[in-house]
Amino acid sequence: MKNLPWSVPGATGSASALGVRVPVPRWKRAKDAVLTFLTRLALRLLPSARNNTPVRRSLWTGAPILNMAINARAERLLGVHADSLVYQSYFITDQFTYNLRRWSRVPLLRTLLPYLVFLWACRRYQRFHFYCNRGLLGPASPGQFRPEELQMLRQLGKQVYFWTYGADVRTRAITAGLGEPNCCTACPAPGRACVCDPERGRENLARIAAAATAVFAMGDMTEYTPGSRNDLFFWPVDLEADRSRRYAAHYPAPQSDRPLRIVHTPNHRHFKGTQYLLDAVARLRDQGYAIELVLVEGVPNRQALEIYRTADLVFDQCLIGFHGYFALEAMAMGKPVLCYLRKPQEYLLDWENCPIVNTPADRVEATLRELLGDRARLHDLGCRGRRYVDTHFTLAAFAERLRRAYQDVEGKRP
């Protein structure tokens, strides 16, 4: 394996030798082979698809993760025309440059669309950003990149950057090794939400390592991507959205004459430790504490933000070991946040000034009890949270980290 900016220890030779492949029907393999051959042929006839100019256009694509379009907006601050593209979108947000959901539903187009989009993208963009589980052509099998897509991009001289979001790299064995309880402890369906299988994960990481300009991870995701860069912290918050109204910070005066309002977004209850919160709140109520618990599920991001705004305290998770984007949004609105941080000094940006209250599963009840009697501390944590986001997680702050990374990584390319 070449000496690349990111590599998997022990990964040598063909990626196919590193793990067991998920069986693919013969007819599908034949169809993909024919379409891939035609795509390669078309690219040879399109000299404009080769990278012969400095980067002017960049494409962020893959799973319709909330922050993908926001990252593209941050990259535009560097003078690059950055777009985002998805084939499907969830209820959370649809703020992408290109949302091909309708076209993906057309039976006659469903098979050809990824290849047509790939050809169009190769002509238009010099830099590509993917998550670690699929590209424009779709996955080879669940959670695995298609090697031929990566080969074509490298042959064309494209810059190919990979980013993690959690489930795209998380394997069960490594998670178990981090200690109990963890986000796999109560998983109801192993293999469905995350990569899970270690062989499949190693195979996919080897493919990515052989093609990547660089791979970026952060927090607990660095545990699954050895050698990746962990200094980008790529979840910026667009504080100027909706004329700065979306994340307008509120610092209510401490009030002890009403129930403490806790807001939690349990989009994956088993992974976030929602049950620990429910149990803790129930026990505290039995002890006479006034607590109001609001669970935000299945609502668009804009509606969810309105609910976050009413919180006295936000609970992120108590199992994963790293904060989510939800925590940053809450801090941007001046809300104190509870979250389990497994390795604060390693996982956090400017960990000494991060005001998140470290709350593992076995400390949820005790931490809530402490804060119930100290409303002034909640107010202080909220103020510090907004300062933390203002300092480190604005679009401009992320764009500056991205600029330095490009200079560093691309300056080392052969």
**What pLDDT sits at residue 1?**
31
Q: Does 177 share its domain with 114?
A: yes
63: its two tokens? 């799973």
Q: What is the pLDDT of residues 146-175, one digit of tens each?
A: 999 999 999 999 999 999 999 999 999 999
Please give the helix or strand (H or E) that residue 154 lies within, else none. helix 147-155
**What pLDDT sits at residue 132?**
95
| Res 4 pLDDT > 70 | no
**What pLDDT sits at residue 15?**
32
140: Cα separation from own chain's centroid: 21
- Report the predicted TM-score, pTM, of the whole model to 2 decimal places: 0.90
d(CA 159, CA 167): 24
| Res 362 pLDDT > 90 | yes
Q: Count the residues in the chain.
A: 414
Q: What is the CATH number of the domain that holds 84?
A: 3.40.50
Per the structure, how many domains does the chain have?
Answer: 2
255: its two tokens? 């009030």
Q: In terms of Cα–Cα distance, which of 268, 161, 139 is closest to 211?
A: 161
Higher-pLDDT residue of 189, 22 = 189
Q: Does 384 share its domain with 400?
A: no
d(CA 114, CA 33): 14
| Res 17 pLDDT > 50 | no
Q: Does 225 share its domain with 250?
A: no
Whether residue 9 lies inside any domain: the answer is no
Q: Does 338 share its domain with 226?
A: no
Whether residue 59 lies inside any domain: the answer is yes
d(CA 29, CA 34): 9
Whether residue 10 lies inside any domain: the answer is no
| Res 106 pLDDT > 80 | yes
**What pLDDT sits at residue 61?**
96
d(CA 95, CA 78): 20
> First-to-last CA distance in the chain?
15
**What pLDDT sits at residue 135?**
95
| Res 125 pLDDT > 90 | yes
Lowest mean pLDDT among 57-61, 95-99, 390-394: 95-99
Please state the φ and ψ torsions of residue 28, each to the nearest 5 degrees: -70, -40
Q: Which residues contact 376 (CB under 8 A, 6 or more apart)?
A: 254
d(CA 9, CA 227): 8
* Top-confidence range, 28-37, 60-69, 197-206, 277-286: 277-286
Q: What does the mean pLDDT of the chain come to?
A: 88
| Res 364 pLDDT > 90 | yes
| Res 46 pLDDT > 90 | no
Q: Does 88 share its domain with 119?
A: yes
Q: Does 193 share its domain with 312?
A: no
Higher-pLDDT residue of 29, 382 = 382
Q: Does 246 share its domain with 353?
A: yes
Q: Does 118 share its domain with 65?
A: yes
**What pLDDT sits at residue 37?**
82
Q: What is the mean pLDDT of residues 277-283?
A: 98
Lowest mean pLDDT among 3-7, 104-108, 192-196, 237-241: 3-7
Q: Does 231 share its domain with 277?
A: no
Q: What is the mean pLDDT of residues 210-223?
A: 96
Please say whether the beta carbons of 96 and 66 come within 8 A. no
Residues of the domain holding 250: 241-393
Whether residue 90 lies inside any domain: the answer is yes
Match 């190769």 to its residue by tokens.
122
Q: What is the mean pLDDT of residues 109-116?
A: 91
Q: Does 24 share its domain with 144?
A: yes
| C-alpha to C-alpha distances, 291 to 69, 128, 168, 221, 379, nearest whole angstrom | 36, 47, 36, 33, 17
235: its two tokens? 């979840």
Q: Does 51 share its domain with 195?
A: yes
User: What percent of the chain clears pLDDT 90, i.e. is strictly above it?
Assistant: 68
Q: Apex CA 53: angle with CA 48 and CA 57, to 5°?
A: 80
Q: What is the CATH number of the domain that holds 336?
A: 3.40.50.2000
Higher-pLDDT residue of 48, 248 = 248
Q: Does 22 share its domain with 162?
A: yes
